[in-house]
C-alpha cells in the first residue's frame, strides 16, 4: 500500500485576497497537490492587516488581536481543508505557515521582516505541529529573508539542459532563473498586481482588475512608463526584495504629474509590471517562462509578458502540471517538509545569506 507524507501549506500574501491552503503529499520527489482551498478573510480583519502593512497608529496594540484573529482564521481553514479531504489532524505531519507580512525592511543598519500570526494558537487549535518564521534565520546570516520560493522552484521546475524562469506574480512579483548548469538566481522584480489593485480600488471600488478589463480599455503611456521605470529599485542589483511598504498608492501618486486618464494609468501599470519582470529575465536567454500567482488570470499582463520575452515561450505553471494558483502555498508545505528533513530552505546566492540554513521554528500543540 502506498504511504503518504502529508503536509499542509498556508500562504496569505501581500494582496490580502484570502488565505491559500493546500494539502501536499511530500512522499514523492516532486510534491503532489492533493487538495486546496481559498479561505476568505473577514472584511474587518482584511482592513486591519492592510492598515498594519503601512506605518500606522498604535501598531502594537492593534497587531496583538490581529495576529490572534489571523491564527483563528488559519485554524478554521485547516479544519475545512481536512473535512473536505476526509482526513484527521493525526494524518498530517506538519503545517508550514508563512504568516502575514506586515513589514519587510531587509536593508539598512537593522534589517527586519515581520510575518504575523499567532502560531502557538494555530498549533493549539489544530492539534498539528506548525513550522513558521521562515525568513528570519536567513536574515540572521545577512540575507534578505526573501524570496524563499526559488529553492522550491528549483526542486519542482528545473530541467537539465535548459535555462528556465519561474515568475510569481502576486502583489509583488518575484522571479527564479533556473540555469542549465544547476545554479539559481532569484529576486523580487517590483510590483506584480499591487499597484493595479490599488488603482482599480481607488477608481472603481473593486479589489482587482477582473480579467484585466480596465487595463484593456486604456492606452499605454510611454512617458509615464519610462518615468516609473526610473525608480532606483528597478536598477538595483540583486540580492533584493521589496513589499507593500514601498510600492503603494502614494508611490504611484508621486509619479502622476501630468494629465493621464485612469484607464491609461492602469494600462501603463500593467506594462510596468511586465516590463520590469521581462527586463530581469531577458539577459538569461531562457527557453521557457512559467508564470504562477494571481497574475496568470490577467490576460493583458500575460500578453505583454509574451510580447516582451519572445522567442521564449510564456505560459502558466499549469502547463507543467503545477497549479498556478497554489505554487506559493505548496512551497510553504515543502519548506515544512524540508525543516523535517533538516534540509536548507534558502539559496544563499538568491537571498545574500552567508550560508544555506534550515529555515523555520517548530510550534508543538
Ligand atoms: N481574474 C483575475 N483577473 C485579474 N487579476 C486577477 C484575477 N485573479 C487574481 N488576480 C490578481 O492576482 C492577485 C492575487 O494574487 P496572489 O494570490 O498570487 O497574490 P499574493 O500571494 O497575495 O501576493 P504575493 O505573492 O505578493 O505575496 C489579485 O490581487 C489580483 O490582482
Ligand atoms: C517579505 C515577503 O513576504 N515577501 C513576499 C512577497 O510576495 C512575493 C515577493 O514579495 C516574495 O519576496 C515574498 O514571497 C514569496 C513567497 C517568497 O518569499 O519567495
| 114 and 135 assigned to the same domain | yes
Confidence category of residue 142, pLDDT binned at 50, 70, 90: very high
Residues 278 and 332 in one domain: no
CATH number at residue 124: 3.30.420.40
What is the pTM for the complete model shown?
A: 0.97
Average pLDDT, the chain: 97
Where do we find the cell 545574500? Answer: 352
Domain residues for 167? 149-320
Residue 2 pLDDT class (50, 70, 90 cuts): confident
Cell triple for 53: 502593512
Same-domain pairing of 175 and 290: yes
- Please check whether residues 160 and 290 belong to one and the same domain: yes
Q: Are residues 19 and 140 in the same domain?
A: yes
Within a domain: 50 = yes
The residue ranking higher by pLDDT, 200 or 158, is 200
State the ligand closest to the CA atom of 194: 1
Distance CA 358, CA 355 (A): 10
Q: In this structure, is residue 93 part of a structural domain?
A: yes
**Shared domain check, 357 and 282:** no
* Residues 54 and 106 both lie in one domain: yes
Residues 111 and 166 in one domain: no
In a shared domain, residues 185 and 302: yes
What's the CA gap between 95 and 145, in Å, rounded?
A: 20
Cα–ligand 2 centroid distance for 190 (angstroms) = 11
pLDDT more than 90, % of the chain: 96
| Domain assignment present for 68 | yes
Residues 138 and 153 grouped into a single domain: no
Q: Do 51 and 197 lie in a common domain? A: no
> Which grid coordinates belong to 344?
536548507
- The pLDDT-based confidence of 1 (bands split at 50, 70, 90) is low
Residue 244 lies in a domain: yes
275 in any annotated domain: yes
Listed range (140-149, 150-159, 213-222, 293-302) with the worst mean pLDDT? 150-159
pLDDT in the model for residue 326? 98
Domain count, the chain: 2
Question: What is the structure's pLDDT at 3?
Answer: 81
Residue 83 lies in a domain: yes
Atom of ligand 2 nearest to the CA of 192: 8
Q: Is 108 assigned a ligand-binding role in the annotation?
A: no
Cα of 348 vs centre of ligand 2, distance in Å, is 16
ipTM, two decimals, is 0.99
Ligand 1, pocket-test mutation among 19, 53, 294, most atoms within 8 A of CB: 294
> Of the residues 193, 245, 325, which should be mutated to test ligand 1's pocket, given the most ligand atoms within 8 Å of the CB?
193
Q: Does residue 1 lie in a domain region?
A: no
In the chain, what is the greatest distance between 2 CA atoms, to the nearest angstrom?
67
Instruction: Indicate if 98 and 228 belong to the same structural domain.
Output: no
322 is in an annotated binding site: no
pLDDT tens-digit profile of 27-54? 988 899 999 999 999 999 999 999 999 9
Q: Output the CA torsion sign for 278, 281, 285, 290.
A: negative
- Judge whether 78 lies within some domain: yes
Amino acid at each position: 500500500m502506498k504511504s503518504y507524507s502529508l503536509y499542509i501549506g498556508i500562504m496569505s500574501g501581500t494582496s490580502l485576497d484570502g488565505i491559500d491552503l493546500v494539502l501536499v503529499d511530500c512522499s514523492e520527489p516532486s510534491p503532489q497537490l492533493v487538495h486546496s482551498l481559498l479561505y476568505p478573510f473577514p472584511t474587518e480583519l482584511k482592513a486591519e492587516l492592510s492598515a498594519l502593512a503601512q506605518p500606522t497608529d498604535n501598531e502594537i496594540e492593534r497587531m496583538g488581536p490581529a495576529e490572534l484573529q489571523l491564527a483563528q482564521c488559519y485554524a478554521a481553514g485547516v479544519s475545512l481543508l481536512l473535512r473536505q479531504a476526509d482526513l484527521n489532524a493525526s494524518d498530517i505531519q506538519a503545517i508550514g505557515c508563512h504568516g502575514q507580512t506586515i513589514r519587510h525592511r531587509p536593508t539598512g543598519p537593522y534589517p527586519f521582516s515581520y510575518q504575523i500570526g499567532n502560531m502557538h494558537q494555530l498549533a493549539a487549535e489544530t492539534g498539528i505541529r506548525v513550522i513558521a518564521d521562515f525568513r528570519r534565520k536567513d536574515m540572521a546570516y545577512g540575507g534578505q529573508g526573501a524570496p524563499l520560493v526559488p529553492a522550491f522552484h528549483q526542486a519542482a521546475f528545473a530541467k537539465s539542459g535548459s535555462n528556465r524562469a519561474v515568475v510569481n506574480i502576486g502583489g509583488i512579483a518575484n522571479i527564479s532563473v533556473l540555469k542549465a548548469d544547476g545554479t539559481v538566481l532569484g529576486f523580487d522584480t517590483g510590483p506584480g498586481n499591487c499597484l493595479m489593485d490599488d488603482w482599480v480600488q481607488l477608481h472603481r471600488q473593486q479589489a482587482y482588475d477582473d480579467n484585466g478589463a480596465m487595463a484593456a480599455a486604456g492606452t499605454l503611456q510611454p512617458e509615464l512608463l519610462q518615468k516609473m521605470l526610473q525608480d532606483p529599485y528597478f536598477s538595483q542589483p540583486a540580492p533584493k526584495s521589496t513589499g507593500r511598504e514601498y510600492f503603494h498608492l502614494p508611490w504611484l501618486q508621486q509619479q502622476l504629474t501630468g494629465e493621464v486618464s485612469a484607464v491609461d494609468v492602469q494600462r501603463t501599470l500593467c506594462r510596468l509590471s511586465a516590463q520590469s519582470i521581462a527586463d530581469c529575465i531577458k539577459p538569461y536567454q531562457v527557453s521557457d517562462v512559467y508564470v504562477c500567482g494571481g497574475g496568470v488570470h490577467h490576460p493583458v499582463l500575460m500578453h505583454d509578458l509574451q510580447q516582451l520575452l519572445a522567442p521564449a515561450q510564456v505560459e502558466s505553471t499549469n502547463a507543467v502540471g503545477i497549479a498556478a494558483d497554489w505554487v506559493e502555498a505548496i512551497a510553504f508545505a515543502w519548506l515544512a517538509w524540508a525543516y523535517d528533513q533538516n534540509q536548507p530552505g534558502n539559496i544563499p546566492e538568491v537571498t545574500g545569506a552567508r550560508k544555506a540554513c534550515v529555515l523555520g521554528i517548530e510550534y508543538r500543540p
